[in-house]
Amino acid sequence: MTVLAQAPVPRDIGILEWLVAADSWAGANGILVSLADTVTLCAIVVLVATITMVPLASWLAHTRRGEVSVSWMVTLSRAIPTFAVAGLLVPISLRSGWGFEPWPIFIALLLLALPPIFLNTYTAIQQVEPGVVDAARAMGYSETNVLFRVELALATSVILAGIRVAAVTVVATEPIRAFLGGDGLGRYVRDGLGQNNDGLLVAGAILVAGLAGLTALSFRSIERFALPDGVRRLATAMNR
C-alpha cells in the first residue's frame, strides 16, 4: 500500500480556489497524479470488460443463444455489492502475496462493468431488423460477414451506450478503492473524512463528479461520430 501525504484544503481559501491553484495539481501528491491513477485503472477495467463481453454477447445474439446468460447478467447487475466484493477479496489478495491493490478493486469494478456491456451488445444485435439480415444472406454474405458488416455495424451506437454506462459507473465507484488501501481521487474523500476536513471532502467529490461527467460527455461524442451517415440513417429508420 502506498501512503501519500495529503495537504488539506487551507481554511483561508475557498474550495474552488484550491482546485484551480497550480500547487494543488503539481508534484507527486498533486491532483494530476491522483487523476492519472484513477483514469488508468478505470480505462483498463472498461477495456477488459469490452474485449471480453462484446465478442461473447455478439456471438450469442447472432446464434440466438444465451437467454439464460442474459437473465444471469441482469441479476448480476442488480445484485453486486462492489464494496463488499472488494472487501472480501482483500484478505485473499494479501494471503496470495498480491497486496492491497490493484486486484481486489480491479475485480470488483470489472464485475460491475461486465453486465451493461453484455446486455447492450446482446440486445442491440438481437433487435437488428431480420429483413436486413436476410437480405445480406441472400446477397451471399457469410455468417461472419453478416455479424461484422451488418449486425455489429447497426448495433454500434447501442453497444457504445453500454460501454458509456459501464465507464461512468466504474469512474463513480472507483473512489471506494481509497478505503481499501489504495489511492486515486478517492483519497481526497477518505482524507477529508479522516481529518474532519469538509473542504477536502467536497473537493474530492467535485473531482470525482467532474471526471464522471467528462467520461459521459466523451462517450456521447464518440457515439455521435462513430457511425457512418448511411448506417446512422438506417439504424434510425429501424428504430421508428
| pLDDT tens readout for residues 159-210 | 999 999 999 999 999 998 888 777 889 888 888 888 888 888 888 899 999 9
Residue 104 · residue 180 · CB < 8 Å: yes
**pLDDT, tens digit (0-9, with 9 covering 90-100), for 142-163:** 888 888 888 888 889 899 999 9
Q: What average pLDDT does the segment 36-61 reach?
A: 94
More reliable by pLDDT, 23 or 7 = 23
Task: Please give the domain boundaries of the chain with CATH numbers for all domains.
Answer: 15-80+108-238 (1.10.3720.10)
Tell whether the model's pLDDT for residue 89 goes beyond 90.
no
Peptide bond just before 116 cis, omega within 30 deg: no
User: What CA–CA distance (Å, rounded) separates 166 from 157?
Assistant: 14
User: What CA–CA distance (Å, rounded) separates 144 from 148?
Assistant: 6
Locus of grid cell 444485435 = 125
Identity of the residue numbered 223: E
Dihedral over Cα of 94, 92, 109, 121: its sign: positive
Q: What average pLDDT does the segment 227-240 reach?
A: 57
The mean pLDDT of the chain is 81
Which of 56-65, 94-103, 179-188, 216-225 is predicted with the least confidence, judged by mean pLDDT?
Answer: 94-103
Tell whether the model's pLDDT for residue 42 goes beyond 90.
yes
For 218, other C-beta atoms within 10 Å of its C-beta total: 12
Q: Is the pTM of this model over 0.85?
A: no
Residue 180 · residue 90 · CB < 8 Å: yes
Q: How confident is the model at residue 64 (pLDDT cuts 50, 70, 90)?
A: confident
Tabulate helix, strand, coil % of the chain (nearest 5): 80, 0, 20
Tell whether the model's pLDDT for residue 28 goes beyond 80.
no
